[in-house]
Amino acid sequence: TLVIGTVASLTTAAWGISNYRVVKDSAALPNTLTTLTVDTGPVPVAVRITTDREVREPRVDMRMVNSTRAG
């Protein structure tokens, strides 16, 4: 019964996770860029900004977790 319970819980978890997807986008920014404004509108999101001294060009990498029902 332990195996059946484990399989059932893993199946439920997999079904729940399958309702979400990750959308990614990446773009180079102009070298003259001095400010960056992130407008999320009415959507409650977390914004994380990281820096890297080794990069050769300014770049933005965006990732969004979205529900498959959202389209």
Q: Look at the pTM and tell me if it is higher than 0.95.
A: no
Q: Where are the domains of the chain?
A: 21-70
30-49, pLDDT tens digit by residue?
Answer: 988 888 888 888 877 788 88
Distance CA 43, CA 28 (A): 25
Q: What is the mean pLDDT of residues 39-64?
A: 83
* Residue closest to 31 by CA, chosen among 61, 58, 59, 60: 58
